[in-house]
């Protein structure tokens, strides 16, 4: 990836930050995008201190105007955009029939509309050049029903299918679009679902009351595990892979 330019949304923490670091270490100049400037600035300072080219941009991915502005700024300051990683995400929990309008709208807005606005803005730049790669971070919940996660699962399923349809349409322009579907990953988002230490064990062992199996590999994913999958799909090693979902869940969905 040396000499390329990448934009990563949700880069202020969790999987997004791990992806940004992985791409920077592969030699890409990386634009960090998130809603809060403070978290971006910390990561940008760390990457710059290690000698990596980096740009921090606060933007709300739900806004078409802000998405286009972010992509334009990246191209103006770092060069033509080669890679887009849609890693921004929110998790709003609750039974489907008790979800509020705001919880539903935010889930769809960030997790699905954000993928649409950022991918559209990036594709408009990539198509005339006839090259590029897009990876969307979804979830294994996009294809497996989860109690209390209806808004999250639905929004991730939407983002997955949008990315695959986009990949079909952009294939003739030499642009690949894939998705990475993590399972339980050791991030603040996962921790927000836990009430105590027993929840970590339940995640590994499974929860029959919630119709949920455990993790056969007996470990949570590290953000770096997901980042490695993203980096692979962006790389030339995956040059003949498009419209694919790479699941990174330690076997939690039993390979289905």
Other CB atoms within 10 A of residue 17 CB: 25
CA-to-CA separations, 139 to 18, 47, 62, 97, in angstroms, rounded: 16, 27, 19, 22
Q: What is the spatial distance between Cα 40 and Cα 92, in angstroms, rounded to a whole number?
A: 23
Encoded tokens for 11: 């880069």
What DSSP assignment string belongs to 181-213?
A: EE-SBSSHHHHTT-SSHHHHHHHHHEEGGGTEE
How far, in Å, CA of 251 to CA of 221, rounded? Answer: 11
Quick one: CA torsion of 113, 187, 4, 160, rounded to 10 degrees? -40
Q: List the one residue out of 237, 234, 246 whose CA is nearest residue 19.
A: 234
CA distance linking residue 147 with residue 149, whole number of Å: 6
Burial class (CB in 10 A: 0-12, 13-18, 19+), 185: buried
Residue 211 catalytic? no
Nearest Cα neighbor of 232 from 171, 173, 178, 163 is 178
SS3 content of the chain, % helix, strand, coil (to 5): 50, 20, 30
Q: Which of 10, 55, 84, 152 is catalytic?
A: 152
Active site residues: 152
């Amino acid at each position: 990836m040396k000499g390329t330019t990448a934009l990563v949304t949700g880069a202020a923490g969790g999987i997004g930050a791990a992806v940004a670091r992985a791409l920077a270490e592969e030699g890409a100049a990386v634009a960090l995008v998130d809603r809060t400037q403070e978290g971006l600035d910390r990561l940008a300072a760390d990457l710059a201190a290690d000698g990596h080219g980096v740009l921090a941009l606060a933007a709300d991915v739900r806004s078409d105007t802000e998405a286009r502005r972010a992509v334009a700024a990246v191209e103006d300051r770092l060069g033509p955009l080669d890679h887009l990683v849609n890693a921004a995400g929110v998790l709003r929990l609750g039974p489907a029939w008790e979800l509020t309008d705001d919880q539903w709208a935010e889930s769809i807005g960030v997790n699905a509309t954000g993928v649409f606005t950022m991918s559209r803005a990036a594709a408009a730049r990539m198509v005339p050049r006839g090259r590029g790669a897009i990876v969307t971070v979804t979830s294994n919940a996009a294809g497996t029903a989860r109690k209390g996660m209806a808004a999250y699962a639905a929004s991730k399923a939407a983002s997955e299918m949008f990315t695959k349809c986009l990949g079909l349409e952009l294939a003739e322009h030499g642009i690949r679009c894939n998705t990475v579907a993590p399972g339980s990953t050791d991030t603040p988002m996962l921790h927000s679902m836990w009430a105590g230490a027993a929840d970590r064990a339940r995640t590994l062992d499974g929860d029959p009351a919630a119709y949920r199996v455990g993790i056969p590999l007996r470990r949570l994913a590290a953000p770096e595990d997901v980042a490695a999958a993203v980096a692979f799909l962006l790389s030339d090693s995956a040059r003949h892979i498009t419209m694919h979902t790479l699941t990174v869940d330690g076997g939690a969905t039993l390979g289905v």
